[in-house]
Structure 1
Amino acid sequence: MFRKCVATFVQNKIANIAGSSRPTLCQSLYERATHSKANSRPPKILITGGLGQLGIECAKVLRSQYGDDSVVLSDIIKPGREVIESGPYIFADILDFKGLQKIVVDHRIDWLIHFSALLSAIGEQNVPLAVRVNIEGVHNVIELAKQYNLRIFVPSTIGAFGPDSPRNPTPNVTIQRPRTMYGVSKVHAELMGEYYFHKFGLDFRCLRFPGVISSDPPGGGTTDYAVAIFHEALRTGKYTCYLRPDTRLPMMYIEDCLRALLEFMRTPSDRLKRRVYNVTAMSFTPEELVEKLSTYVPNLHVTYRPDGRQDIADSWPQVFDDSEARRDWGWQHKYDLNNLVDFMVKDVQENYIDKEKANMYAATSRASTR
């Protein structure tokens, strides 16, 4: 699904010398050497939080471009057989700075893609843990990237905005006063990354994603109703939505999300006018999604029982303005609501519903032969 092309990793480094913007001879030689090495082989990429919604699929995309051994997937969770067999996987605790240093040195890492985070609804249930993972963890990976001259990507979110932000549309630069720890931590990450870029020349890159929709089971985000509804509707023909039917939020299919990340990471640094960009594909409400899904599940019955997640959604953008990403590095989405529903129904049916039925049938058959 992605274009094949040869990518080179161009590193632009600003001298880290107090009171001077000119590099020393040693620094110049070092940068020339690392530049040459980076361009003589594909980038070695470390993905943290790799067993979350985006990590495994991101690894597949990057491995298709750079080779299986070029992408190191990591997490603190025991992986399944499929993950182990698909390419390198290691244990990595983002709160263990020395452990991260060892990984970067041992695996000769060039790019760091940092997915480790507690999502919005989960973060509100355990704020101290969200502070450690989402803020201390970001401190560690940004300092690590500075120390080892890495290109680093940290995703942000529509949750980085709050009720004081314009909601329709929400521009790239505007007031940000989020009211969730997840949002606060993402604004913190954006500002830290921009500071390290201006102060130390760190090649920091960040995309503010909307709700990302994939066939994987929901993981605790406020926009995850748009994933859960497919699983429940195709299993039972029913769904209880925790948002009001008219709650409009920006969304993006996972293939567009991963393609945006890949294209953004490949863009030469001098083409980027910002370090943080909005990206999106569509905006819809639960009611609009139900209308499209009803063509596949004719007797679909949906009830609406808003809970605490409604307050979160009411503080987020309704429509995302990503015109700067489209202008600066050519971002274009491919999936709208119509083909999103087409692909999601197919993916969930084949990868979950049909497999569950097959497993149940196999279990029943084994039991009847005993």
Structure 2
Amino acid sequence: MQKSILILGACGQIGTELTLALRELYGNEQVVASDIREGTDSLMNSGPFELLDATNYEAIEDVIMYHEIEEVYLMAAMLSATAEKFPERAWNLNMNSLFNVLNLAKEKKIEKLFWPSSIAVFGPNTPKDNTPQSTIMEPSTVYGISKQSGERWCSYYYHKFGVDVRSVRYPGLISWKTLPGGGTTDYAIEIYHAALEKASYTCFLNEDVKLPMMFMDDAIRATIKLMDCNPEKISVRSSYNLAAMSFSPADISASIKKHIPNFKVSYSPDFRQGIAETWPSSIDDSKAKEDWGWESKFNLENTTVEMLKHLPSQSH
């Protein structure tokens, strides 16, 4: 089936892999990548690209009209650790970009919209284990506040204006294809690089802090599956809980040591430890399973195998 898709923030950690997956699915010319900077060679050479600021309504509208875009994936955002350093800039980027695409959908300029939320919407008062779909949130980070606000706006635009907006709350994401983008869970990518390069790693979180994580292939699959789903099956218009595995830095280092026995990890927690402590340790995603048949494929063991197998071929 042909459809024309625009990805805003296509050069980021998720955006890069999502763009390539969608191009493979729908054809290179059907998927327009865009960002405020150019991306990897594979992204730039495989299909159309537009230099585009996600906070500029008119510029987005022009690209949508020119390419006759039907669906938009808004992946542009400032992530948790970076957002704490630049609170107002993070709020402006994360919220204005969302308003732009919600309003374009409201004006019927696009038919469907994907916007990612995050486990950062949960806060210190949220039940930590098996965090329910609907629960106390009270996020205490800039990123979490912007994501929780975004969820409320998505729900509002759906109920008030019939905007077909869809969302998942991503856990920490692990990938060998792209470098981390300034998140609190980025240690889970850095640790593999360090294991292969110098067989030692200093972790910025405590060894026992368990967080929900997901291998990038699962995250991309979930995103596309939700966007392909019949709208009548979607009962959650804020954002769906999504889960795959939960582990701590000690767990991941043990799984690496099975392959690299001399690997050593030391711990030097920084401000990101405080962020991690406010997040859930595991997520209940039964609603996503029930509504659109979500099922993860990767656990910690096969994630470690994939990471160690593919990373040496990456240029650092």
TM-score by length of 2: 0.97
Instruction: Pick the structure with greater CA Rg.
Output: 1
- Three-state SS of the structure 1 residue aligned to 2:154 is helix
Aligned counterpart for 1:251 among listed residues 206, 210, 213: 213
Residue 140 (structure 1) shift = 1.2
**Partner amino acid for 2:199?**
G
Residue 83 (structure 1) shift = 2.5
Residue 80 (structure 1) shift = 4.3
- Give the whole-Å Cα distance in 2 for the aligned partners of 1:84 and 1:325: 33
Residue 149 (structure 1) shift = 3.8
Contact (CA 8 Å) 2:174, 2:213: kept in 1 or not?
yes
**Partner amino acid for 1:313?**
A
- Give the whole-Å Cα distance in 2 for the aligned partners of 1:228 and 1:70: 33
Contact (CA 8 Å) 2:130, 2:281: kept in 1 or not?
yes
Contact (CA 8 Å) 1:74, 1:92: kept in 2 or not?
yes
- Give the whole-Å Cα distance in 1 for the aligned partners of 2:43 and 2:245: 31
Contact (CA 8 Å) 2:202, 2:266: kept in 1 or not?
yes
**Partner amino acid for 1:179?**
S
> Is 1:234 equivalent to 2:196 in the alignment?
yes
Report the equivalent of 1:328.
291
**Partner amino acid for 1:115?**
M
Contact (CA 8 Å) 2:20, 2:43: kept in 1 or not?
no
Contact (CA 8 Å) 2:7, 2:31: kept in 1 or not?
yes
Report the equivalent of 1:127.
87
Report the equivalent of 2:76.
116
- Give the whole-Å Cα distance in 2 for the aligned partners of 1:53 and 1:272: 26
Report the equivalent of 1:213.
174
Partner deviation per Cα, 1:256-276 (whole Å, 9 max, x = no partner): 000001111000100111122
> Is 1:188 equivalent to 2:149 in the alignment?
yes
> Is 1:79 equivalent to 2:39 in the alignment?
yes
Report the equivalent of 1:157.
118
- Give the whole-Å Cα distance in 1 for the aligned partners of 2:231 and 2:43: 32
RMSD of Structure 2 on Structure 1 (CA)? 1.0
Partner deviation per Cα, 1:240-266 (whole Å, 9 max, x = no partner): 001111100000000000000111100
Residue 82 (structure 1) shift = 3.1
- Three-state SS of the structure 2 residue aligned to 1:320 is coil
**Partner amino acid for 1:159?**
A
Aligned counterpart for 2:105 among listed residues 112, 132, 145: 145
> Is 1:305 equivalent to 2:265 in the alignment?
no
- Three-state SS of the structure 2 residue aligned to 1:168 is coil
**Partner amino acid for 1:171?**
P
Partner deviation per Cα, 1:10-30 (whole Å, 9 max, x = no partner): xxxxxxxxxxxxxxxxxxxxx
Partner deviation per Cα, 1:283-339 (whole Å, 9 max, x = no partner): 001101000101121111110111110110000010011011001110001101110
Aligned counterpart for 2:158 among listed residues 197, 202, 208: 197
TM-score by length of 1: 0.83
Report the equivalent of 1:105.
65
- Give the whole-Å Cα distance in 2 for the aligned partners of 1:140 and 1:154: 12
Aligned counterpart for 1:295 among listed residues 249, 258, 274: 258
**Partner amino acid for 1:193?**
C
Unaligned runs of 5+ in 1: 1-6, 8-41, 357-370
Contact (CA 8 Å) 1:160, 1:177: kept in 2 or not?
yes
Report the equivalent of 1:362.
none
Residue 101 (structure 1) shift = 0.8
- Give the whole-Å Cα distance in 1 for the aligned partners of 2:117 and 2:299: 22
Contact (CA 8 Å) 2:240, 2:288: kept in 1 or not?
yes
**How many residues are treated as equivalent by the alignment?**
313
> Is 1:64 equivalent to 2:27 in the alignment?
no
- Three-state SS of the structure 1 residue aligned to 2:37 is coil
- Three-state SS of the structure 2 residue aligned to 1:208 is strand
- Give the whole-Å Cα distance in 1 for the aligned partners of 2:73 and 2:255: 34
Contact (CA 8 Å) 1:217, 1:231: kept in 2 or not?
no
**Partner amino acid for 1:245?**
E
**Partner amino acid for 1:229?**
I
Unaligned runs of 5+ in 2: none
- Give the whole-Å Cα distance in 1 for the aligned partners of 2:42 and 2:297: 28
Identical-pair percentage: 40
Report the equivalent of 2:12.
52
Contact (CA 8 Å) 1:149, 1:202: kept in 2 or not?
no
Report the equivalent of 1:177.
138
Report the equivalent of 2:185.
223
**Partner amino acid for 1:290?**
S
- Give the whole-Å Cα distance in 2 for the aligned partners of 1:281 and 1:80: 28
- Give the whole-Å Cα distance in 1 for the aligned partners of 2:39 and 2:23: 18
